[in-house]
Amino acid sequence: MEEQIIRTEYSDVMQKSYIDYAMSVIIARALPDVRDGLKPVQRRTLYDMHELGIRWDRPYRKCARIVGDTMGKYHPHGDSSIYEALVVMAQDFKKGMVLVDGHGNFGSIEGDGAAAMRYTEARLQKVTQEAFLADLDKNVVDFVPNFDETEKEPAVLPARIPNLLVNGSDGIAVGMATSIPPHNLGEVIDAAKAYLKDPDITTEKLLKLMQGPDFPTGGIIVNKDELPAIYETGVGKIKVRGRVEVEKLKGGKEQLVITEIPYPMVGANIGKFLNDVAALVESRKAPEIVDISNQSSKEGIRIVLELKKGTDTENLKNMLYKKTRLEDTFGVNMLAVADGRPETLGLRQILEYYIEFQYELTTRKYRTLLSKEQEKREIQEGLIKACDVIDLIIEILRGSTSVKEAKACLVEGITGKIRFKSEASKKRAAKLHFTERQATAILEMRLYKLIGLEIKALMEENAQTLKNIACYEDILENHSSMTRVIVKEMDAIRRAYARPRRTSVENVAEAVFEEKKMEEMPVMFLMDRFGYAKTIDMNTYERNKEAADNENKYVFSCMNTGRICVFTDTGKMHTIKVLDLPFGKFRDKGVPIDNFSNYNSSEERLVGIGSMDALKEKRLFFGTRSSMIKVVDGSEFETSKRTVVSTKLAEDDVVLTVVVLEDNEQIVLQSEEGYFLRFALSEVPEKKKSAIGVRGMRLGEKDRLQAIYLYQTGQEESIEYKEKQLVLNKLKAGSRDTKGVKVRG
């Protein structure tokens, strides 16, 4: 066969391929089905556990076995996704109703991951067995081929509860995402029953029965009035607060105890919350907090904040709501696969699909049961009829040479090759008209069935079968009867598995707190040669003045409400709020100054630092490696921006030094080739920060400035140069923009 080349536009192929991929992710992986509320990986995992016989009343099995079997038979997308889905279905802090009974380390509410699947074990929960998998043998759902067409899997599980609402769902597909909060099982069933009775019921009336989300972590929903609009459209934001209690201690002290957290805080965000509270304490925005301790255990959440005596606890709670994740937002986007396509659904639409699915399941279930009962009735009636003519049947069997002859006689009355005792028996046999199924049952019947009690039991069984048939036909033919069956099953599940609501739904005013004004006071800024910075109070500095000056590269006073200016060799100035710096004891190590600004010590070098309050009253001297110098008024650097350009630089030039001018009158420039030039500072003109400056020293082609020294006239200033002391005052005075003198060692 010759190869056939199909010519087409590359863009058309890409578009079709991407759409196919996107739909595969949306339908087959990321989004739940509105009918059973499960994603394909969850559905396949539960069905595989059912097939493996890992029921709720049987021993646990290794998760590795479950994952491997699921991946090999139904879900060829990697073991990690299957195990992750299995773990989440077993975590009671993520699901409103867990579907898997996990044994071993299945992670924690604080974000700890589950143990490897070779260590953990699992089995189905009783509710999963009864409400999701119980009727799979009654042809209630369609079975479809698996990925390699070697197995069959259910297209959807016959869920008897509105699982999409009860357990919620979250997932990211291509170009869309779903985020459905969990709800209370009892309330959801009540809402479903109300919708069943009145399909025109409003969302507001449904929310009187189903108040809103019921998160497994509890908490308080504070925007109750916004819920009707959210559940009408399926999109919105729900504000959730943690539950905070005030406990009184001895001595009149109090402590705040967080006993429930917002659902979005589950996982690593608990640690983030603790860090945020610690940051408020360090920045002195919440000085009332003395200690923070996380005393949470298997019994529940317990985060304790110890407070100073006389603390305004209500104001502090409001601060925590505003400044930390103790109040958080759950984004609702109720997107699910309905009728084979993704659709954003409101509460009434979800209940509508659920009720339709229940009618479909019930119809298929009772059709199957009716068919089986009708088969039983046919056989029972045949056996009862056979008992009345049992002597004739025995005569037929004894006179037949094969089962085929006997069966033909029983079904069609063919007596040709059968030997009868009398002609009368032959005529009676010719009138027999059993069905195929009845004839088979008669031929397989054992003799003890002819005992009187057995015949009586058969008659009673037939009466029960007739009663069942009448009941099933009534359910299938009368809508009201089927509705009663559905409601009865809902009530049974509600009685067995409903639990009290955990999350309260209220209308709460927005948290407002009075931020205490920071008491303005002078502090000392200390930074060592490794870049670790901190602030200490003035009294501490005075007590440790000598050690502070010797151990730190930069030491100066500033106001605690001010800013620090950091000048770098790239010509930038980064600013830092003094309040952001750690304030503490003299022997505290401090924190790298990189952490508080855009300054990056690995990419730029610090050449000057000072307090913005002090700089704006002074003048600053700038000198670069290519000998460009200038004086700038400090008021130009007064800014609230985190980073600004402090000076203009020529290409490949860098700032060598930035110095705050005090009473300096003389300047000495030193080049790398050993040239020194001394001249009066008055020769350096004052420029704007956007100017490049003027040339300070004429340099050779490959020469560059190495150092710049500023000092007062009459003050002896010496440096070590080539292992000898060089007195700068004794250098020959020159003028700016000259070569200077060469000093030999």
* Confidence label for 443 from pLDDT (cuts 50, 70 and 90): confident
Structure confidence by residue, pLDDT tens digits, 665-711:
889 999 999 999 999 888 999 999 999 999 999 998 889 999 999 88
> Bridge partners of 633?
619
Is the per-residue pLDDT at 456 higher than 90? no
Buried b (16+ CB within 10 A) or exposed e, 69-92: bbbebbbeeeeebbbbbbbbbbbe
What tokens does 398 get? 């004894």
Rounded Cα distance between 219 and 568, Å, is: 48
- If asked whether residues 597 and 675 sit together in one domain, one would say yes
- If asked whether residues 572 and 691 sit together in one domain, one would say yes
- Domain boundary among the residues 457, 479, 496 is at 496
- If asked whether residues 47 and 130 sit together in one domain, one would say yes
- pLDDT value for 16: 67
Q: How many CB atoms lie within 10 A of CB 574?
A: 24
- pLDDT value for 28: 59
* Confidence label for 575 from pLDDT (cuts 50, 70 and 90): very high
Selection from 218, 182, 193, 181 nearest residue 97 by Cα: 182
- If asked whether residues 565 and 658 sit together in one domain, one would say yes
Within a domain: residue 210?
no
Read off the pLDDT of each residue in 538-556 and give the average, rounded to a whole number: 91
> Bridge partners of 336?
343
Structure confidence by residue, pLDDT tens digits, 475-495:
999 999 999 999 999 999 999
- If asked whether residues 668 and 615 sit together in one domain, one would say yes
- Could you tell me which residue, 5 or 733, shows the higher pLDDT? 733
Rounded Cα distance between 363 and 482, Å, is: 8
Query: 238, 332 in Cβ contact below 8 A?
Result: yes
- Give the CATH number for residue 423: 1.10.268.10
Within a domain: residue 702?
yes
**Minimum mean pLDDT among 35-39, 192-196, 582-586, 625-629: which range?**
582-586
- If asked whether residues 299 and 446 sit together in one domain, one would say no
* Distances from the Cα of 214 to the Cα of 47, 91, 96, 110, 360, angstroms: 27, 15, 7, 20, 29
- pLDDT value for 103: 96
Read off the pLDDT of each residue in 75-94 and give the average, rounded to a whole number: 92
**C-alpha 152 chain-centroid distance:** 32
What tokens does 365 get? 């279930």
Is the per-residue pLDDT at 190 higher than 80? yes
- pLDDT value for 653: 92
Q: How many CB atoms lie within 10 A of CB 418?
A: 20
* Distances from the Cα of 206 to the Cα of 220, 318, 480, 557, angstroms: 20, 32, 22, 64
- If asked whether residues 254 and 308 sit together in one domain, one would say yes
101, containing H or E segment: strand 100-103
Selection from 157, 139, 132 nearest residue 365 by Cα: 139
The DSSP secondary-structure symbol of 735 reads -
Within a domain: residue 167?
no
- Give the CATH number for residue 126: 3.90.199.10
What tokens does 553 get? 């590269």
Within a domain: residue 224?
no
Rounded Cα distance between 566 and 597, Å, is: 9
- Domain boundary among the residues 325, 344, 376 is at 325
Is the per-residue pLDDT at 65 higher than 70? yes
- pLDDT value for 174: 67
Residues 6 or more apart in contact with residue 187 via CB below 8 angstroms: 209, 210, 211, 214, 501
Active site residue 554: no
- pLDDT value for 72: 94
Point out the catalytic residue in the list 18, 21, 119, 354. Answer: 119
- Give the CATH number for residue 559: 2.120.10.90
Domain ranges, residue 618: 522-742
Rounded Cα distance between 419 and 90, Å, is: 70
- If asked whether residues 138 and 269 sit together in one domain, one would say no
Token pair 């009685």 in the structure block, residue: 495
Query: 352, 455 in Cβ contact below 8 A?
Result: no
- pLDDT value for 2: 64
Structure confidence by residue, pLDDT tens digits, 105-139:
999 998 889 999 999 999 999 999 999 999 999 99
Token pair 């750690």 in the structure block, residue: 582
- pLDDT value for 420: 81
Structure confidence by residue, pLDDT tens digits, 583-637:
878 888 888 988 888 888 888 999 999 999 888 888 999 999 999 999 999 999 9
Q: What are phi and psi for residue 620, nearest 5 degrees?
A: -115, 140
Structure confidence by residue, pLDDT tens digits, 153-189:
999 999 999 999 999 998 877 677 899 999 999 999 9
What count of residues does the chain have? 745
Burial of 137 (0-12, 13-18, 19+ CB in 10 A): exposed
- pLDDT value for 201: 94
Rounded Cα distance between 732 and 745, Å, is: 16
64, containing H or E segment: helix 63-73
Structure confidence by residue, pLDDT tens digits, 728-744:
888 888 999 999 898 88
- If asked whether residues 566 and 641 sit together in one domain, one would say yes
Is the per-residue pLDDT at 214 higher than 90? yes
Structure confidence by residue, pLDDT tens digits, 536-545:
989 999 999 9
- pLDDT value for 326: 93
Crossing angle of helices 390-399 and 403-412, rounded to 10°: 140
Query: 152, 304 in Cβ contact below 8 A?
Result: no
pTM recorded for the entire structure: 0.73
- pLDDT value for 158: 95
- If asked whether residues 573 and 478 sit together in one domain, one would say no
Mean pLDDT for all residues in the chain: 88
- Give the CATH number for residue 265: 3.30.1360.40
DSSP string, 638-701: --SSSEEE-S---TT--EEEEEEESS--EEEEEETTSEEEEEEGGGSPB--TTS--EE-B---T
- If asked whether residues 457 and 544 sit together in one domain, one would say no
Q: What are phi and psi for residue 423, nearest 5 degrees?
A: -70, -30
Within a domain: residue 24?
no
- Domain boundary among the residues 158, 176, 203 is at 158
- pLDDT value for 252: 80
Within a domain: residue 175?
no
Within a domain: residue 479?
yes
Read off the pLDDT of each residue in 381-399 and give the average, rounded to a whole number: 81
Total domain count for the chain? Answer: 4
- pLDDT value for 88: 94
Rounded Cα distance between 42 and 149, Å, is: 20
Could you tell me the maximum CA-CA distance found in the chain, to the nearest angstrom?
154
- pLDDT value for 17: 64
- If asked whether residues 676 and 538 sit together in one domain, one would say yes
Read off the pLDDT of each residue in 415-439 and give the average, rounded to a whole number: 82
Within a domain: residue 93?
yes
- pLDDT value for 588: 85
